[in-house]
Amino acid sequence: MTLTSGAAVLVEREEELASLTASLRAAASGAGSCVLVEGPAGIGKTSLLDAATSAALTCASTAGTTDGLDARVCRHRCTTAEAHQPFAAVIGLLAEAVFARPDDDFRGASALAVPLFRDGETGHRGEFPLLHGLHWLTVSLSEERPLVLVVDDVQWADPASVRFLRYLAERVAGHRILLLVGARTGEPSHPDLADLLERPQDRLTLEPLSGDGVRAVTDAVTGQSGPGVAALAAQVAGRSGGNPFFVHELLRHVTPGLTGVDATPSSVVEAVQRQLATLSPPAGDVAVAVATLGEATSVGEVAALTGNDVRTTALAVDDLVAATLLDGGDPRRFRHPLLRDAVAGSVPVGRRLDLAAACAQLLAPRHPVRAAEHLVGAPELAPLREGWVVPTLHEAARVSTVRGGGERAIAYLERALAEPLEAAAECDVRRMLGVLLDDANDVTALEHLARAWELAPTLPEISTPTVAAAYADALFHFALLEESGAVCRRAQESLGPDESERWLLLEATALNSEAMIGLNRDRPARLQGQVEAAGTPGERAVLTHVAWDRAARGDLEHRDVADLARRAAGEGLLLDEVGPASPLFVYAGTALSWAGAYEEVATYATAGVERAVATGSLVGLAYATALRAGNAVYRGEIAQAETDAQRVLEELADADPMCFAMSVGWQIEISIERETPEVARSLLETFGLDGELPDIGTIDTLLLSRARLWIEVGELDRALVDLAEVQRRGLRSAYLNPIASPWRSMTAQVHLRQGRAGEESLALVDGELAAARAYGAPRAIGVALLARARLMAERPAAGQALEHLREALEALDGSGADLVLAEVMIDLGSRSDAGTDNQRRRILRDAMDLAHRCGSWRAVSRAMEALRETGARPRRPRVKGLQALTPQERRVTQLAATGQANRDIAEALFLTRRTVELHLTNAYRKLGIDGRAELADALAER
């Protein structure tokens, strides 16, 4: 059967078109998908996509009927000219639809992508915010009516757009979105493209036309039939291999009277080159100029490059359209990419390089990115030694960076380094290049930033603190912590007395690194008086370190620590100034948590999570989520801790290695409480964390949790090794507050289990108890008293144990540290001298109930065993309600309870709306409620 698509004849594509139409109908009903149409050049991908686009607009079936569905179609055909312009294909695909709607229509995550279309700038470092925002922008467009996205010649799409298409292809299910991707086979492919081409749910590989198909095209093109046409069709079939484009081009060269195919051109490429030779010189020059400048060009640019006036150029364009080389609808385009390739291939190498240089210089003033692409694409030209080259490349890098194209910016800056540079220019280029490479997690960033740092102090026009901060950040990211601090210290020495704010900001950056390795631990306390007013960003940044450091040392009462941390946080100012991706955000929250302000920290961390989602910051999301997980562990909210720790480990594992290590520690604590220590052991083995660990501050949390795991599984010697390492690190840095590091009580209890708890063990616990009392945090006091009670229970003066347990109960009452409270109650109810059997049973039942509400199945089991020893026959509480929710169900219900719509929840958690609906349905069943209105009350029950 022969179909028509525009002016093209579409033959033997009925099955493919029917398949695409079926995919459209499925997408219109909410079953979105991605379909790949692939084949060699000229096989008819574009014509098939044209036909599919028409079907989308009318929703017509192959029988010609219509059911009235009306899809929005966004289409873009990629070109080599935009192959390295970040998000060029995405902008070409979606810009018209975005411009047709006011910005207010795009809310939540979709708003992250709108600036890309309005002014080409994103305001984000890193690509994820744009990918996340673009995904939800397409969802927004699909809510009004089904959305069909057609991306043709994706092999030439820029890498950033390819990554978005891959991201979208994984998420269209459950939305009214059909993504059609056309790709040429046999072309070089980069990893992102190869990955995208593996994503489609359906793949249509187009085959050459059969002999009958070529005959049908021949009949349609010539408008004739009969034996002569049949013979001609046979010749064309043999010469073209059934490639539809070649069929059409060969038929254009049929000799008069249909006596056969012109014998002169042995290929279509030769035919094009022969045709160019017959045109006027201006037309040939214009064809070469259009092929070189690319489809983003203008008649004015073509005229300037060829040296002709605009009128001569316009007439030459008419000649090329008449010769069917350029597209009459858009004369900046060749009618087919193969024609462009043929023209470009006719240019000798030397002439091509000369054209590249001329194009770059022509485009530099107004289009630096296009100019830079010509320079990068002709490395043989380096160095050009022209004054305009480096500024053009630098500006192109800046523009690409704000448009989310860091990888191309890197290429431009590396090309700039091939030119002779003055010291100031070299410093600026290397600093910018180093920052981009650091963002890309490329260790070569350090080489460039080191050179910039070497040059900066000798150049009055360069901001030394700016270079220092960039270099220190990179050193921090690659865990070169001592070097990071040293760079900041050196930069501080260069500042004058009127630059105190810059000095403080550098101080905070230095302390970020030094806190990890125990250096300069006396500085925060010495600076307290200078910064405790918390009136500037620099003062708040340093005060954050003061609060955290004094909490870790335990040399300030916990209420005073909380006051310092609150002032540093500045009622949200710190979050505004540094964002959730800064260690400073975590330090302030951790100091508050160590001070026992658990509810306050939960609110603070949640604000960080919301900010991270709003800005698309994966690192910020990991930091804030891990902070909330740790806070939940401290207060004994195991379900919440599990929800957050698993999110970091499953969804944000690559965001930040130190945050990941902390979250592994929290997950170990959770696994112990859930009575699944084998899960924790497997986690350690999987990530190679069961051996020696780096000597970095955040690892201490993991060491303590790992020691607790070894205790739980009976590997007591391994526990002592880890506890001794925690002790060594703590003594070195003077971070000895038991609220953060109860290694002394843990060590003593290992001794107790080994049957060798003597005076040394008691001295350890007494030292911890004294430190806990001095700091005053109820949780630390309760933990130390519980440990001392257990030691004393094995001694002649066992009555002291009862006193310690009762004191611990009093200290913990109302503190929010409910799991520690439950442990104390279990120990108390287990003692025969704690009261009558009925009194003890009441204590133990209350403890079991509290442990169950905390989500600690381990503590529940302990309480049940103690109850049995009193003669009771307890039943294990059913895991129902809130405790029965999976971590993901809990995340979804928590957001739904605040009034967020399903779409908002999906945006925040990177899910589809259909997945959110399924989680809510399951959660309603487990909670025994009918719907959203009852969620808040159900979640409040603990």
Q: Of residues 339 and 595, which shows the higher confidence score? A: 595
| pLDDT-wise least confident of 247-261, 321-335, 415-429, 687-701 | 247-261
CA distance 609 to 782: 31
pLDDT category at 69 given cuts 50, 70, 90 is low
Convert the pLDDT of each residue in 594-609 to its tens digit: 999 999 999 999 999 9
The dihedral sign for the CA sequence 245, 248, 252, 254: positive
Q: How sure is the predictor about 65, in pLDDT bands with cuts at 50, 70 and 90?
A: very low
d(CA 555, CA 565): 15
Q: What is the mean pLDDT of residues 51-71?
A: 59
pLDDT band, very low/low/confident/very high, at 125 (cuts 50, 70, 90) = low
> For residue 205, what is the enclosing H or E element?
strand 202-205
**pLDDT of amino acid 913:** 75
Name the strand (E) or helix (H) holding 2.
strand 2-5
Give yes or no for residue 937 having a pLDDT over 60: yes
Tokens of 490: 């050196």
Which pTM does this prediction carry? 0.78
DSSP string, 865-916: HHHHHTT----PPP--GGGGS-HHHHHHHHHHHTT--HHHHHHHHT--HHHH
Residue 324's pLDDT is what? 83
Query: What residue has token string 């699944």?
Result: 676
Banded pLDDT at 140 (limits 50, 70, 90): confident
pLDDT of residue 124: 57
Backbone angles phi, psi at 3, to 5 degrees: -110, 165
| Contact indicator for 677, 712 with CB cutoff of 8 Å | yes
Instruction: Say what the pLDDT of residue 258 is.
Output: 47
**pLDDT digit string (tens) for 8-28?**
568 899 999 999 999 999 999
Q: Among 401-405, 491-495, 591-595, 714-718, whose mean pLDDT is lowest?
A: 401-405
For residues 8 and 17, give the distance between their C-alpha atoms in angstroms, rounded to a whole number. 15
Rounded CA separation 935/186 (Å): 55
526 pLDDT more than 90: yes
Give the Å distances, CA to CA, from 322 to 306, 317, 519: 20, 9, 76
CB atoms within 10 A of CB 710: 20
* C-alpha torsion sign, points 326, 327, 333, 334: negative
Read off the pLDDT of each residue in 100-105 and give the average, rounded to a whole number: 81
In contact, 335 and 324? CB cutoff 8 Å: yes
Sheet-wide strand order for 72-77: 72-77, 147-152, 177-184, 33-39, 202-205
Cα separation of 818 and 804, whole Å? Answer: 17
pLDDT in tens, 369-393: 999 999 999 999 999 999 999 999 9
* d(C-alpha 315, C-alpha 321), whole Å: 10
Cα 567-568-574 angle, rounded to 5 deg: 120
pLDDT in the model for residue 531:
97
Least confident of 290-294, 592-596, 773-777, 815-819: 290-294
Predicted confidence at residue 309, as pLDDT, reads 95
62 pLDDT higher than 80: no
As a whole number of angstroms, the distance between CA 733 and CA 702 comes to 17
In this structure, the number of other CB atoms found within 10 A of the CB of residue 757 comes to: 20
d(CA 47, CA 434): 45
Q: What is the pLDDT of residues 784-804, one digit of tens each?
A: 999 999 999 878 777 899 999
What single-letter amino acid sits at 357? Answer: A
SS3 annotation, 357-385: HHHHHHHCCCCHHHHHHHHHCCHHHCCCC
pLDDT higher than threshold 70 for residue 68: no
Which pLDDT value is given to residue 61? Answer: 37
pLDDT at 381: 92
Q: How many CB atoms lie within 10 A of CB 870?
A: 18
- Which band of pLDDT confidence, cut at 50, 70 and 90, is reported for residue 118? confident
Q: Read off the DSSP letter of residue 109.
A: G
> Which of these ranges, 218-232, 250-264, 490-504, 652-666, has the smallest mean pLDDT?
250-264
Please tell me the predicted confidence (pLDDT) of residue 263.
Answer: 36
Contact 197, 184 (CB under 8 A): no
Is the pLDDT assigned to residue 4 strictly greater than 50? no
Q: How confident is the model at residue 123 (pLDDT cuts 50, 70, 90)?
A: low
Q: What are the tokens at 335?
A: 């009618």
β-bridge mates for residue 35, sequence order: 180, 202
pLDDT score, position 278 = 82
Q: Is the pLDDT of residue 196 over 50?
A: yes
Q: For residue 77, which phi and psi values (nearest 5 degrees)?
A: -110, 120
Q: Is 220 a residue whose pLDDT tops 90?
A: no
Q: What pLDDT is recorded for position 121?
A: 63
Residue 5's H or E segment, with its range, is strand 2-5
Looking at per-residue pLDDT, the higher value among 743 and 940 belongs to 743
- At residue 941 the predicted structure's pLDDT band, cuts being 50, 70 and 90, is low
Instruction: Select from 725, 702, 722, 720 the least CA-distant residue to 648.
Output: 702
Beta bridge partners of 74: 149
CB of 412 closer than 8 Å to CB of 371? no
Q: Please tell me the least confidently modeled range out of 7-21, 700-714, 752-766.
A: 7-21
Question: What pLDDT does residue 268 have?
Answer: 64
Asked whether the predicted pLDDT for residue 284 surpasses 60, the reply is yes
What angle separates helix 481-493 from helix 500-517, to the nearest 10 degrees?
160
**pLDDT average, residue stretch 68-73:** 76
pLDDT score of 5: 43
Q: Who contacts 826 (Cβ-Cβ below 8 Å, separation ≥6)?
A: 844, 847, 851, 859, 862, 863, 866
Side-chain half-sphere of 506: how many Cα atoms within 13 Å? 25
The per-residue pLDDT for 9 is 63
**Between residues 55 and 654, which one has the greater pLDDT?**
654
pLDDT in tens, 156-170: 999 999 999 999 998
Predicted local confidence at residue 120, as pLDDT? 64
Dist CA 132 CA 288 (whole Å): 40
Q: What confidence tier does 3 reach under pLDDT thresholds 50, 70, 90? A: very low
Sign of the CA dihedral with 822 first, then 823, 829, and 833 last: negative
- Beta-strand (E) ranges in 66-195? 72-77, 147-152, 177-184
- CA distance linking residue 721 with residue 726, whole number of Å: 9
When pLDDT is cut at 50, 70 and 90, the band that residue 64 belongs to is: very low
Tell me how far apart the alpha carbons of residues 246 and 544 are, in angstroms, rounded to a whole number. Answer: 70
